[in-house]
């Protein structure tokens, strides 16, 4: 495991509350597309808001993050609230998900381009990916990583998941009133062919 990354994220999450952040917009806006049962992966789960949301919809959720501090908190929270979530500290570069394992994969604000084919393969036939992260095209009030390597090029998510069937795509760039809408990010919901 990348020990520096683990320490960094443990420090960030040491005082965080589980479920304290809002659910990712890709899940908020498209949660009606989730299956009523099945197995889900919340990759780079952070404080677990997406994991909690998917478990409340009836899914069995694996919540993976490089931070063992946060995944232990998520497992304890899930046990207390009787939610079907298993938190696991995991470096996805070393321990990627197995092929044909998940009905749903959710990723918000994490970008490792080399893993996209692995995430696609981890879906069962008919499985869905919900993905949202930062873009290089930003408004003056942008947030997110300063390193452009961790930001998407224009329409890049479409290319990264071109093997899947597109269900939803949203990337507003700098069109219209930049004070409104879904800015500085792109989202996709796509399905693995059966």
**How is residue 94 written in tokens?**
């070393």
- What is the per-residue pLDDT across 50-108, written as a single tens digit (0 to 9) for each? 999 999 999 999 999 988 888 999 999 999 999 999 999 999 889 999 999 999 999 99
How many Å apart are CA 48 and CA 42, to the nearest integer? 8
Given a contact cutoff of 8 angstroms between Cβ atoms, the answer to whether 107 and 132 are in contact is yes
pTM: 0.90
Task: Return the closest-CA partner of residue 112 out of 44, 22, 171.
Answer: 44
DSSP 38: S
What is the number of structural domains in the chain? Answer: 1
Read off the CATH number of the domain in which 158 is found: 3.40.50.150
Domain of 178 in residue numbering reads as: 3-14+21-191
Maximum separation of any 2 CA atoms in the chain, in Å: 46
The angle at the Cα of 193, spanning 123 to 170, to the nearest 5 degrees, equals 80
Phi, psi of 146, rounded to the nearest 5 degrees: -80, -25
- What is the per-residue pLDDT across 114-154, written as a single tens digit (0 to 9) for each? 999 999 999 999 999 999 999 987 766 667 777 888 888 98
């Amino acid at each position: 495991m990348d020990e520096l990354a683990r320490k960094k994220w443990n420090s960030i999450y040491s005082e965080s509350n589980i479920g304290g952040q809002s659910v990712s917009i890709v899940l908020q806006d498209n949660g009606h597309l989730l299956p009523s049962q099945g197995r889900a992966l919340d990759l780079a789960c952070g404080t677990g808001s997406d994991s909690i949301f998917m478990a409340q919809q009836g899914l069995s959720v694996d919540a993976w993050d490089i931070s063992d501090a946060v995944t232990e908190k998520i497992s304890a929270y899930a046990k207390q609230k009787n939610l079907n979530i298993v938190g696991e500290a995991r470096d996805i570069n070393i321990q990627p998900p197995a092929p044909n394992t998940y009905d749903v994969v959710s990723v918000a604000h994490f970008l490792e381009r080399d893993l996209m084919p692995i995430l696609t393969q981890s879906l069962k036939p008919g499985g869905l990916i919900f993905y949202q992260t930062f873009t290089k095209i930003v408004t003056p009030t942008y947030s997110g990583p300063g390193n452009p390597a961790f930001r998407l090029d224009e329409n890049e998510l479409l290319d990264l998941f071109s093997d899947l069937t597109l269900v939803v795509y949203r990337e507003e760039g700098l069109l219209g009133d930049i004070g409104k809408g879904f800015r500085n990010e792109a989202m996709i919901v796509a399905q693995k062919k059966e």
